[in-house]
Amino acid sequence: MRLKCSDAVRVTGLIAIIVLAATNGNVRAALGLQSGISLANLDRTCKPCADFYQFADGGWIKNNAIPASSSTWGNFSVLAARNRDVLHQILSSAETSKNPAGSNRQKIGDFYAACMNTAAIDADGTKPIDSLLALAGSATQQNLAATLTTLHGSGVDGFFNLGPGADFHNAALNIAQLRPAGLGLPDRDYYFSTDARTVQIRAAYVAHVTKMFQLLGDSAAAASAEAQAVMALETQLAQNTLGRVQTRDPASTYHKMTLADVQTLAPALDLPAVFAQTGLPSTVAVNVTQPDYVKALSAILAAAKPSDLQAYLRWHTVHAYAAALPSAFAAENFDFYSKTMQGVPSAQPRWQQCTGATDRTLGEALGQFYVAQTFSAADKARALAMVKNIKQTLRDDFSTLSWMSQPTRQRAVAKLDAFLLKIGYPDKWRSYTGLPITRSSYAQNLVHAAQFNSRDALAQIGKPVDRSRWGMTPPTVNAYYNPTVNEIVFPAGILQPPFYNSKADMAVNYGGMGAVIGHESTHGFDDQGRKFGPTGELANWWTPEDAAQFNARAQCVVDQWNQLSPEAGVQENGSLVQGEEIADLGGLTIAYKAFEKWQAHNPRRILDGFTPEQRFFLGWATVWASQTRAEAIALRARTDVHGYDKFRVNQTLSDMPQFDAAWFCKLGDAMYRPPEQRCQIW
Catalytic annotation on 85?
no
CB 156, CB 443: distance < 8 Å: no
Q: What is the C-alpha separation between 639 and 245, in angstroms, rounded?
A: 10
Q: DSSP secondary-structure letter at 513? A: I
Nearest residue to 586 via CA among 516, 506, 635, 522:
522
Q: 120: Cβ–Cβ under 8 A, 6 or more apart, which residues?
A: 114, 440, 441, 442
Q: What is the C-alpha separation between 149 and 458, in angstroms, rounded?
A: 11
H helices of 100-195, in order, are 104-116, 118-124, 130-136, 144-152
Q: What is the C-alpha separation between 295 and 281, in angstroms, rounded?
A: 23
The distance from CA 636 to its chain's CA centroid, rounded to whole angstroms, is 12
Q: What are phi and psi of 346, to 5 degrees?
A: -135, 150
DSSP, collapsed to helix, strand or coil, labels residue 48 as: coil
Q: What is the C-alpha separation between 271 and 137, in angstroms, rounded?
A: 21
Q: What is the C-alpha separation between 208 and 226, in angstroms, rounded?
A: 12
Q: How far is CA 422 from CA 174, 194, 206, 387, 491, in A?
A: 21, 45, 44, 10, 8
The distance from CA 351 to its chain's CA centroid, rounded to whole angstroms, is 23
Parallel/antiparallel/unpaired status of strands 170-180 and 420-424: unpaired
The residues that bridge with 178 in the sheet, in sequence order, are 162, 288
DSSP, collapsed to helix, strand or coil, labels residue 256 as: strand
Q: What is the 3-state secondary structure (H, E, C) of 330-359?
A: HHHHHHHHHHHHHCCCCCCCHHHHHHHHHH
Task: Tell me which of 43, 234, 520, 537 is the catalytic residue.
Answer: 520
DSSP, collapsed to helix, strand or coil, labels residue 483 as: coil
Q: How far is CA 323 from CA 96, 121, 209, 239, in A?
A: 24, 10, 14, 29
Q: What is the C-alpha separation between 645 and 166, in angstroms, rounded?
A: 32
What torsion do the CA atoms of 186, 187, 188, 192 make, to the nearest 10 degrees?
-80
Q: What is the C-alpha separation between 631 and 601, in angstroms, rounded?
A: 48
Catalytic annotation on 584?
yes
Amino acid at 393: T
Q: What is the C-alpha separation between 187 and 635, in angstroms, rounded?
A: 9
Q: What are phi and psi of 178, to 5 degrees?
A: -110, 110
DSSP, collapsed to helix, strand or coil, labels residue 403 as: coil
CB 74, CB 55: distance < 8 Å: no
Q: What is the C-alpha separation between 634 and 140, in angstroms, rounded?
A: 38
Nearest residue to 71 via CA among 648, 627, 570, 646:
627
Task: Tell me which of 584, 608, 613, 669 is the catalytic residue.
Answer: 584
Exposure of 88 by Cβ count < 10 A (0-12 exposed, 13-18 middle, 19+ buried)? middle
Q: 372: Cβ–Cβ under 8 A, 6 or more apart, which residues?
A: none
The CA angle 370-371-375, to the nearest 5 degrees, is 125
Q: Which residues are catalytic, by number?
A: 520, 584
